[in-house]
Amino acid sequence: MESFTYFVFARVLHVIGVVLWIGGVAFVTTVLIPSLKNINGSTNKLALFEQLEEKFSFQAKLATVVTGISGFYMIDVMNAWDRYQHLQYWWIHLMTLIWFIFTLILFVFEPLFLHQWFHEQVIKDSTKIFSWIHTMHKILLALSLLAVLGAIAGVHGLF
Q: Look at phi and psi of residue 157 and say left if phi exceeds 0, alpha if psi is from -120 to 50, else beta.
A: left
The amino acid at 152:
I
The pTM for the full model equals 0.90
Q: Is 158 helix (H, G, I), strand (E, B) or coil?
A: coil
Q: What is the pLDDT of residue 55?
A: 84
Compute and round to an integer the Cα radius of gyration of the chain: 18
Total number of domains constituting the chain: 1
pLDDT score of 46: 84
pLDDT of residue 1: 55
Domain of 38? Answer: 2-155
Q: What is the DSSP secondary structure assignment for residue 83, as one 8-state letter?
A: G
1 exposed, middle or buried (CB, 10 Å; 0-12, 13-18, 19+)?
exposed
pLDDT along the chain (159 residues), means of 10: 86 96 95 89 80 88 97 96 95 96 96 93 91 96 97 87
Opening angle at CA 141, ends 27 and 103, nearest 5 = 95
Q: Which of 46, 13, 25 lies closest to 116 in space, CA to CA? A: 46
Distance, CA of 159 to CA of 157 (rounded, Å):
5
Instruction: Tell me the Ramachandran region of residue 117: left when phi exceeds 0, alpha when psi lies from -120 to 50, beta otherwise.
Output: alpha
The whole-number pLDDT of residue 85 equals: 97
Q: What is the pLDDT of residue 27?
A: 94
